Amino acid sequence: MNLADRFWAKVDKTDSSGCWIWTASRWKSGYGRIGVNGHLEGAHRVAWELTRGPIPAGLNVCHSCDNRPCVNPAHLFLGTQSDNIRDSIEKERWYMPIGEKNGRAKLTYTQVEEIRSSALPFAKLAVKYGVSRWTIWNIRKNVSWKQKEEGN
């Protein structure tokens, strides 16, 4: 069976939203996947290539419907990674964990409060908490760790 026949056999076009739902294998992220020439490819990317041709280098296939398993070419558009992020932010779908919920955070909210209330110099606080003096300055000047946000 050729790729097009194999691909479209795994698509459900009956969704009331107009999305064409990929019914086969998906990555944990929810995007569909299909084997093409010995490797896995995003189903939405294959849908684009089958209906509109090659994807130019450096571009993503993005969803206007924000439905990851959707492969309806009418719901897909090309964009850079920046375009894709901007679209996500505009639709309020971008999640960037802040404060101690960010996996790269070295401090907790309690430590930040201690830094703000401490009379110690920046250099001593930096050593005490294992961060740079610049980090201490940013916390004290309210540039970073601005507030403890609920839900993040």
- Does residue 46 form part of some domain? yes
Same domain, 113 and 38: no
Please answer whether residues 7 and 43 qualify as being in contact, where contact means their C-beta atoms are separated by less than 8 angstroms: yes
Same domain, 85 and 108: no
Tokens (6 digits) for 126: 């930096």
> Domain containing 80: what range?
3-90
CATH no. for residue 75? 3.90.75.20
In this predicted structure, what is the pLDDT of residue 31? 96
What pLDDT, in 10s, does the model give residues 95-152? 666 777 777 788 999 999 999 999 999 999 999 999 999 999 999 998 888 765 544 4
Please answer whether residues 57 and 106 qualify as being in contact, where contact means their C-beta atoms are separated by less than 8 angstroms: no
DSSP-derived secondary structure letter, 1 = -
CA distance 109 to 84: 31
Same domain, 86 and 103: no
- Would you tell me how many other CB atoms lie within 10 Å of the CB of residue 126? 18
Same domain, 58 and 111: no
